[in-house]
Amino acid sequence: MDISAFSQHEQALKFRALRNEVLSSNIANADTPNYKARDLSFGDALNSARHESLGMTQTSKLHKQAWGQTTDGAKTMYRVPHQPTLDGNTVEMDVEQAAFAENALQYRASLAFLDGKIRTLRFALKGGD
C-alpha cells in the first residue's frame, strides 16, 4: 500500500474542514447587511494539488495569504444569489444548509474510506486473523 493514498485523504479532509468553516461563517452571517456568501472550489484545490501551483509560495506562517486563496490552493469564491436581498446580503439559508450537509456527508465518507484502508492494512499486518 502506497503512503500517498493516506496523503490524498488527509488533503481531502483538510479541504472539507476548511469548507465547513466557510459555510458556517455564511450561516452565522445570514443577517449581516452587505455580507457576501463565500464558498471554496474543490476542483481548484484538486488542480492545485495535482500541478503544485507555480505561483507565489508562502515561506513563513507570518506571511499573509493571497486574497481569495487558501493554503491548500482552493480559491474562495463569492456565491451569486438566486434572489438578492435589499440589504446586500447574499446568504440564502436553504442553499447554505444544503451545501453544509453535503460537505459534512463528504467529510464522513472520506473518513469511512480512510478507516477502511487502515482496517485492511491492519488485517494484513496481523496475518488475516
**Which pLDDT band, with edges at 50, 70 and 90, does 53 fall under?**
very low
Residue-range domain boundaries for the chain: 10-53+65-125
pTM of the model as a whole: 0.72
The dihedral through the CA atoms of 47, 50, 54, 56 has a sign that is positive
Q: What is the pLDDT of residues 104-123, one digit of tens each?
A: 999 999 999 999 989 988 99
Cα–Cα distance between 54 and 26 in angstroms, integer?
30
The H or E element that residue 77 is part of is: strand 76-78
Which range has highest mean pLDDT (16-20, 51-55, 59-63, 64-68)?
Answer: 16-20
